[in-house]
Amino acid sequence: SSEWKKLKESQGNPPRFEIQMMKALFISGGELDVAKSLLTFVATETGTLSYELLLRYLTLCVSSGHDAEVFDVYDIMRGSFPSLDTGASSLFIKAFSRTARWREALNILQELKKESSPSSRNYGDIIAAAMQHGDTSTAWALYDELIDNGLSPHQETWETLFKVAGKKEGEEGTSAKSQAEQQERHLGILLHMRNNQIYPQQSFASSIKSWFESLTGQEWTGNWTTATPKGVCRSCGSELESIQLTAEEYQQLKDRVMTDIIEGQDVFTKTTPEELQRFKLFVKRKPVFDVVVDGLNVANINKDKSKQSLLVVVSELVDRQGLTVLVLGRKHMLRPSRSWDRHNMNLIQQKAHCFFTDNISEDDPFLLYATLHSGNHCRFVSRDLMRDHKACLPDGATRRLFFKWQRGHQLVVDGHVTAGRRVRFQSIPSYDTIVQTSGGNSWHIPYDDTEDRSTYEVPQHWLCLNKKL
């Protein structure tokens, strides 16, 4: 305490001294005894410990695995303060969940619900604890609650559900009915991943493989593999699902997008009714487009060369590939500036059909309208993910169609754009990169074997699972 007192005085007795010191101890991975001595000093000086200081100390204890100390802090905070905030509750849930006192984390979760909505991490910590301690019914009840609350589970949560189940599969005392129910739950996770276009990381994919191979009375074999350009699995020789929408699916998607995105509640925060009407008439008078280009998005591929990259891409599509192209831009692109060369813009307007929206408008509704209006053959060039538009669509089935259509129609420029050289686009596979199953006797699961895959790219590697019949 005397050393802390000296240090504080040497710094001119700053008002938040103890908070800054505890923060520094946490950042530097300071020893617990040093942090404890700081608490003793503050208690001696002021006769009390503030909520904020205890929370900082708690963070240090949880991050460095001092669970016994966490229990002591829990008793102090419970006795000193009427309630806990989200941060403290989350830390206690995390720490309690990794000990024999994990069930107390359930009580903390219930109290947290009164103040705010628990996070998927809160649920995940307790689900992992319940699975590790053999209470699968609690684990799955919490999992259902997590999903019902519209949260997306962390991959580690799914991995734990598969990993622990794989170890316990076939243990004595587990009824065949119970085993069948558990298996149904795990297959439900795979379908959830399919429906939400989620790819497992490689470690999670390994747990899925081990789980299938551990199923008693079923002979599953898993292999790491890739697909041929025509969409045939190189391991088992079966065909993967096509990326193409049927005529019926396409019409259904087009109707929904037109209603919910183009004419939806929020579209006029992105444009005006007059401008949208003007655009619809423009599209109606034009021939059917083969490609719709998001002008600003393409212009920014080369940060320093927006002057020419849009022209180079348009020239590739029109002159070399003979396609009918629509370029969507903003009105400021027509004003000569360092970024927008008048000569280049004139050439673009000669080669392609162009529509320039007001500078405050968003391009996406126009891009979607023009592409879908032109038919199932029409593609679009953009790196944009259109995640916002998923939220406008009313149901899961339509959202799945939207992303399938996007995967099959989005052209992304590959690499840098240089004048005089061919523009390369990332190839769109003929097959769909999504979790898929055939009659329940085989599964094909695309997985991430890299941390830095761009979000508009799809994984190239697959886990092929087959059941011996």
**Domain coordinates of the chain in residue numbers?**
154-242+441-469, 247-411
When pLDDT is cut at 50, 70 and 90, the band that residue 165 belongs to is: confident
Question: What pLDDT, on the 0 to 100 scale, is given for residue 170?
Answer: 52
52, two tokens: 């904020």
Give the tens place of pLDDT for each residue, 71-85: 999 999 999 999 999
Question: What pLDDT, on the 0 to 100 scale, is given for residue 303?
Answer: 67
When pLDDT is cut at 50, 70 and 90, the band that residue 383 belongs to is: confident
Residue 175 pLDDT greater than 70, yes or no: no
When pLDDT is cut at 50, 70 and 90, the band that residue 420 belongs to is: confident
219, two tokens: 């002979």
Please name the fold of domain 154-242+441-469: 1.25.40
Question: What pLDDT, on the 0 to 100 scale, is given for residue 384?
Answer: 76
Looking only at the bridges linking them, the beta strands covering 461-467 and 220-225 are antiparallel
* Span 454-461, average pLDDT: 77
CATH 3.40.640.10 fits 247-411, yes or no: no
pTM: 0.81
Give the tens place of pLDDT for each residue, 128-148: 999 999 999 999 999 999 999
When pLDDT is cut at 50, 70 and 90, the band that residue 174 belongs to is: low
Distance from C-alpha of 79 to C-alpha of 51, rounded to nearest angstrom: 12
HEC profile for 135-155? CHHHHHHHHHHHHHCCCCCCH
Question: What pLDDT, on the 0 to 100 scale, is given for residue 364?
Answer: 80
242: β partners: 431
* Span 161-186, average pLDDT: 77
Give the tens place of pLDDT for each residue, 39-56: 999 999 999 999 999 999
Question: What pLDDT, on the 0 to 100 scale, is given for residue 262?
Answer: 78
Percent of the chain having pLDDT more than 70?
A: 94
Given a contact cutoff of 8 angstroms between Cβ atoms, the answer to whether 446 and 462 are in contact is yes
The one-letter amino acid code at 80 reads: S
Looking only at the bridges linking them, the beta strands covering 436-438 and 442-447 are antiparallel
